[in-house]
Structure 1
Amino acid sequence: MPKSLTQIEDFYSLVVNNTPMFDTRAPIEFAQGAFPHTHSLPLMSDKERELVGTCYKNKGQDKAIELGHDLVQGQSKQAKIDAWVDFIQKHPNGALYCFRGGLRSQITQQWIYKASGVDYPRLKGGYKALRRYLIDETERIMAHITPIVIGGQTGCGKTLLLDHIQQMIDLEGLANHRGSAFGNTTTAQPTQIAFENELAIELIKKQNHTHLVFEDEGANVGTVHIPDCIKNKTSQADLILLNATTDERIQVSMDAYVTNMYQNFMHQDQQNGFNNFANYWLKSLEKIQKRLGLERYKIMKNQVESALTMHQNTNTFEGFLPVVESLLVDYYDPMYNYQIQKKLDRVAFKGSASEVIEYLYSLSIS
């Protein structure tokens, strides 16, 4: 075996090339946050990690290593090696890491080399070093780029507009949430750490642009928090307001929150899709019960239940039209009108989608 196996220090190339990696940390560590294009192939289970950690504290490193080898041996060890080698065969240009680039990843490298002869690289400094790099790069890049923020009433099509712009950071897409009480999707949001990691990588990939476009967001998108360096910079940036008629907004909202949501729920679970869609609507409405007031909430809940029944009977979504219109005009618009008054001094342009895109082109934003 070589005196030392390969370590990777070039984190920039690692992230811009979407390098596939496997994480040797315990499952509980991986679940708290990992990197994109990463698979969990742990050296130890959660319980084994806990036992080795306790041994390390009480008896020192040598005894902890000895216990680790006792816990992971025989068929268990071989199964792990087989999984690692299978990953390497599928991703020969990848890498592996543990928390600090220490014992777990070194042991994994050694076992892989003995089993296959492959010197599969590990991250120098491990997860902790790459995580630090991403945090630092987020702050550095945001200090140098000029953000432009797209705002507008709920349903005006801000997300659809962003899809036509290359120089943009899709915070809602990264957060897997549309940023409102009805913003949940059919899949869970990432952890805060995973969100920040993916966001940093998007910034690194687009850092050569002088301007980046963001959607106007609050401090949070669903359960994840926008990093302060981004929130502070975008809250002072030029604001472009996207205009749309009420009918256009109703159609965009019907597509996003009714038709597409229903199709996504059905695609995810054909048997329970309708019930999950119904629960999504009723639970989302319940989130804004206090703001709506009890009477208005009861009326709207009845409308939603009628719309759901209508869909079951006629396979149409027409029953949702009055619900969506009421939510836009009576609920979201007053909140928007209140908030936009605080930002009027930042408004640089107002217009339709085509006019906004033309304006962005005039700023050399594509």
Structure 2
Amino acid sequence: MLFLDQPIEMTVLIYSSATGRGLSMLKIAARTSACFALMVVLVFGLGIFSIQQLHGIREQSLEIENDALPGIALGDDIALAVEKTRTTVAKMLATHDLAQVAQAHNEFLERKAGFQKAVEAYDPLITDDEERALVEGLKNTYQGYIERAEKVYTLINENQAEAGRALVWGEMKAMAESIEAALGKLEKINDDSEAESSAAATSVYENALIVTQGVMFLTVLLTVLLAWRLTKSLAVPISQALHSSETIAAGDLRPSAINREGTDEAALLLQSMERMRGNLSQTLTQVGDAAHQLASATEQMSVLMVNSNADLVVQNSEIEMAATAVTEMSQAVQEVTRNAVSTSEESKASARAAQEGQGARTTRHPGHRSGIVAKPRAGASHQSAGRTGQRSVGLYRQLGDDH
């Protein structure tokens, strides 16, 4: 059943949001490419951020690996060299054998070289002026300690061990305590540096973990949102087009309140279907008008046919009457012809009788009986023919009046 005159409201929403309207302005290929490009940008941005955070963690680990840990290790080497130096000095004081004293002195020189080597290895790891001043003070104090240890060695060789022992327990002990204090400060600096680098690495890791998780969540959320908007921008208008086509197929051509904004394929499809609906409605309206006109014309033709049938009946009746008249006229003509023939024969007979009568009268003057008989018969024939002719003429006049 077609509904062409009653408007209908269809509550179908497509592109309800600004995002949907923005997407509807793009072709499907461009829209899909833009969505996937945005997803790629998000993934790429997440990758760049992760790489930067990994780089920061690596820098902190390198700082620990190349600065804090070597500083701690070399600081321990310096402290160990100092302790070994003090041990060799104690050996020189503990023995009375000059050979053992010489051997302890050689060990002392080795410990001195080990200290110098450890300090030289530590110099590149110095990062601030405070640490540099501390190392310089340590080297100067150790150098003073070495000089006094050499003096102790000389005193022992000169059999002045007590003087050497007094020097060790006096000035050298104070220097050793100063060296130990400097080593403690240096160790604290290295421990603080290691703890700071470790804390920085931990902070970078935690920040990277939090930000990465947040970015991942936002990426997933935005991806789901984009997928939803993309799917809706495609599925809703296609669903609307399907509903519109089913409505048209069902014969309902009433106008529908459909939002057909946009320049994408789905919007163009909806616009095309709406034009098709309008054209079908207009065409069917024209067909309905033509059918109405045809029905009116058919009704008029029916009336004319009824009138024509009545006229044909009248004409048939008149034709039958004319045929009857023609038949009667033919019969009258035949009768007239017969009467004429009979009259002619009677006339001829009368003529012969008259001729014969005239001949007889000449000879014997007979009576006129034959002529008297012939005349009445000829008059009767003429009267019958006249009546038939009058009847035929009257019938023709009646037909003429009817027409």
TM-score by length of 1: 0.20
Higher relative contact order (CA 8 A, sep 6+): 2
**Structure number having the greater helix percentage:** 2
TM-score by length of 2: 0.19
**Structure number having the greater strand percentage:** 1
| Bigger radius of gyration among the two | 2
